[in-house]
Amino acid sequence: MKTYQLKQNLTQVYKNYTNEDQAVWKLLFERQLKLLKTLATPEYLEALNKIGFTPFKIPDFKETNVVLNNAAGWRLEVVEGIINESDFFQLLSQKRFPATTWLRKLNELDYLPEPDMFHDVFGHVPLLIDPKFSAFFETFGKLGVKYKNEPQIVQMLGRIYWFTIEFGLIKSKNELKIYGAGILSSHGESKYSVSQQPTHLKFDAKTIMNTAFDNDKIQNTYFVLDSFEQLYQSMPLIQQVISENLIHT
């Protein structure tokens, strides 16, 4: 997958969005929310309401940054696409979330070679204002900065990111709910992820750090949290696993 260099002073040029762009956002938002009202974790739905996103208007990053900053100290950093790991970790450690500003077209609603703004903004941004999730995300970024020159550790952190922030599930009142952005923004994977088809495993950071994934296929295994508190409290174990691997390399 292509990666981009982090460039300074990129901005969202809101006036460049076309009528088709606005229509695509509305279509994606409405059909996804219809599913997520029953499938997403309540924390996400509450955060989506607080962040102020609606189907009637592509989010304006200037407005979103005011809400993010006031609620949790985060802000959006405009990027062209997927950036290299070192820059990604650096941004997260500073509570800056990288987001693209381009939106998929009507003829490519369900498959893209790389994430667009609907994935980045609709999927990732709302939960940044949840205190425990936000704390985990920031701490994760700081770990990445610390070990950015250790390829094996970066790979392990990538697995944590994949199976939690991107494709994580959580228990809510004994029901499986979605919190991972890769699922929240995917019409096809939302129902599938909480069905009986894939394998659901209890969240365990050490197991995740030793579990490979394929980013070109729909997931066949998901890890399930008991709470966002559990996610944040997993940090000492993640650090322990890192230390053990550094000793043996």
User: Is position 4 within any domain?
Assistant: no
* CA distances in angstroms from 164 to 10, 125, 137, 168, 193, listed in the order given: 28, 15, 10, 4, 13
For residue 50, the model assigns a pLDDT of 96
CA–CA distance, 87 with 144 (Å, rounded to integer): 10
- In tens, the pLDDT along 146-197 reads 999 999 999 999 999 999 999 999 999 999 999 999 999 999 999 999 999 9
pTM of the entire predicted model:
0.95
Retrieve residue 65's tokens. Answer: 């940054």
Distance CA 177, CA 89 (A): 27
Structure tokens at 160: 């944590």
Quote the Cα angle for 165-156-167, to 5°: 25
Asked if the structure places residue 5 within a domain, the reply is no
Question: Would 7 be classed as within a structural domain?
Answer: no
The CATH number of whichever domain residue 26 belongs to comes to 1.10.800.10
Q: What is the pLDDT of residues 30-40, one digit of tens each?
A: 999 999 999 99
Q: Is residue 131 part of a domain?
A: yes
Residue 2 counted as domain residue? no
**Using one digit for the tens of pLDDT, what is the confidence trace for 188-234?**
999 999 999 999 999 999 999 999 998 888 899 999 999 999 999 99
pLDDT above 80 (res 117): yes
DSSP codes joined into one string, the chain:
---B---TT----GGG--HHHHHHHHHHHHHHHHHHHHHB-HHHHHHHHHHT-BTTBPPPHHHHHHHHHHHHS-EEEE-SSPBPHHHHHHHHHTTEEEE------GGGSS--SS--HIIIIIIISGGGGSHHHHHHHHHHHHHHHHTTT-HHHHHHHHHHHIIIIIT-EEEETTEEEE--HHHHT-HHHHHHHTSSSSEEEE--HHHHHT----TTS--SEEEEES-HHHHHHTHHHHHHHHHHHHHT-
pLDDT band at 4 (very low <50, low <70, confident <90, very high): confident
Whether 202 maps to a domain, the answer reads yes
pLDDT of residue 1: 61
Total domains in the chain come to: 1
193 in any annotated domain: yes
Q: Any bridge partners for residue 98, and if so which?
A: 77
Average pLDDT over residues 10-39: 97
Provide the pLDDT for residue 249: 61
The predicted structure's pLDDT at residue 114: 84
Q: Using one digit for the tens of pLDDT, what is the confidence trace for 42-73? A: 999 999 999 999 999 999 999 999 999 999 99
62-114 pLDDT, tens digit each: 999 999 999 999 999 999 989 999 999 999 999 999 999 999 999 888 777 78
Residue range of the domain that includes 26: 14-247
Residue 3 domain-assigned (yes or no): no
Query: How many angstroms separate the CA atoms of 93 and 122, rounded?
Result: 21
Whole-angstrom Cα distance, residue 82 to residue 91? Answer: 13
